[in-house]
Amino acid sequence: MAELIKTLLSFSERAGEIARSIRREPKLFSLLVEEKGESEKNQRFTHDFKTLADVLIQEALRHHVKQMIPSLGDYVQGEESAEFTNTLGEKIIVQICDTQQETAVLLSKVLDGNSEAADILATVVHSDISWTPEPELVEKIPDLPIESLGIWIDPIDSTGEYVKGESGTNRGDIYNHGLPCVTVLIGLYDRMSGLPVGGVINQPFALFDKESQSWQGQVYWGVSHQGINIHNVPLNTLSPEDGRAVLVMSSSEDLELYQKFNKNFNVVHATGAGYKLLVVALGYAAACVSTKGSTFRWDTAAPHGILEAQGGGVVIYNKISHHAKEVDVDKNTLRELQIRYHKPNDSPAQLSLQWSNEGGFVAYRDPGVLSTILQCVAD
C-alpha cells in the first residue's frame, strides 16, 4: 500500500508540473482551452472551461495506475471526458501512449499540428517526476485492501482561477481567489462502503518565488484505515479573530445563511472547493459549509480522505441540519452522515449531476465545531 501512496504523491507532482508548464508559456496555454458543452457545465459558472491539462492529468493517472495495478485502473473516475475537439472540428480521444513520441503525435492532432507544443507536453507527461514522502510516515501506512479501492481525481480544481492566472488576494492565511486556490485532487475510497480511506492534494501554485519569478508547489496527503490515521499536514492552531473561529464559504451562498453563521464565526469567502477544504485541513479555518449542491464527488474525495486521517470528516449538510436542535451528534451518527463515493445520486435532475454533492456539505477537522454550526442553523 505504501507503494501506491508513493506513486500517487509522485503523480500529483507530475500533474502540478503539467499545470505550471502550461501557464509558463502563454502561447501554449491559449491553445489548450475550449468551452464545455452545455451538458457538462457546472451550473455555478457562466463560463466553465475544460483544458487539455485536465484531460492529460486524468488520463495519465489512469495509465499510470493501470501499469502498476491493472485491476485498479478501471476504477479511476474523474470530471472530464477524454474526448477533445480541435479547431478543425476533429474529435480525438486523448490518451497516454506507450512512448513519449506516440503521445506527442496524438497531442499534435489535438493542437492542430503544433508539434512543438505537443512535444513539450509529452515530455512532461512521460518524465520521471517524483515526490518523496516523509520516511517516518511511510512505514506507518496501513495495508489497505487495494482490490476494493476506487479513485476520484479532479485534475485541476478551480479551473476558472487557473485560466485567469492571477496571483490572487488573501485574507490572513486564506486566499479569496487566484492561482493558490488551484489544486490537483486524488481521493481514495472503499468501493464497498463508499467511505474515504485516503487523499492527496497537490497545490501547484502554493508559493511564488520572486527571485526566480516562478511558482512552487506543495503536497499534502493522509490515509485512514482500521483505526490507523497518518497525514503530513501541519496542525496550525491560529487564535480566533474577535473570539470567533474562521468559517470558509463560497461567495455564492445566500446572504441570510452568511448572516446566521457570522454571529458565531468570522466568515471568509474563498474559491475552489478543494482549496476551501484544504484550508480546513491546514487549520486556517475551523470548517467549510456549502449548501448549494454545486460541488461533486471529485471535489471532496481527496480532502475528505485527509480530514478523516485528522479525526474530522465531510458530512452532508441537509442531513446534519436535521440535528440542529441537538447539542452533540454521536460518532455513529456522524459516520452515517459522511459523504459516500461509490454510488451516483438517485434520479438526478440532469445526468451531469449524478455525482454532485446534492445535499451540500460541512467539512471539519475537529468534530467539536459541529455543535456551534448546528446552533447557527437552529437560530
Annotation says 54 is catalytic? yes
Write down the residue that cell numbers 511564488 correspond to: 208
Annotation says 156 is catalytic? yes
Catalytic residue among 5, 22, 54, 59: 54
Catalytic residue among 13, 59, 80, 157: 157
Annotation says 128 is catalytic? no
Q: For residue 327, what is its C-alpha cell?
A: 447539542
Annotation says 154 is catalytic? yes
Nearest-CA neighbor of 63 among 105, 29, 93?
93
Catalytic residue among 154, 161, 308, 358: 154
- Contact between 185 and 274 (Cβ < 8 Å): yes
Q: HSE, CB side, 13 Å, CA atoms: give it for residue 245.
A: 20
Catalytic residue among 7, 51, 159, 295: 159
Give CA–CA dist 27/213, Å, rounded. Answer: 18
State residue 62 phi and psi, 5-degree precision.
Answer: -60, -45
Torsion 342-345-347-353 (CA) sign: negative
Catalytic residue among 190, 299, 308, 358: 299
Taking CA 359 as the corner, what is the angle to CA 292 and CA 295, rounded to the nearest 5 degrees? 55
DSSP 218-285: EEEEEEEETTEEEE------PPPBTTBEEEEE-TTS-HHHHHHHHTTEEEEE---HHHHHHHHHTTSS
Annotation says 299 is catalytic? yes
Catalytic residue among 22, 156, 316, 373: 156
Q: Residue length, the chain?
A: 379
Residues noted as catalytic: 54, 79, 154, 156-157, 159, 299
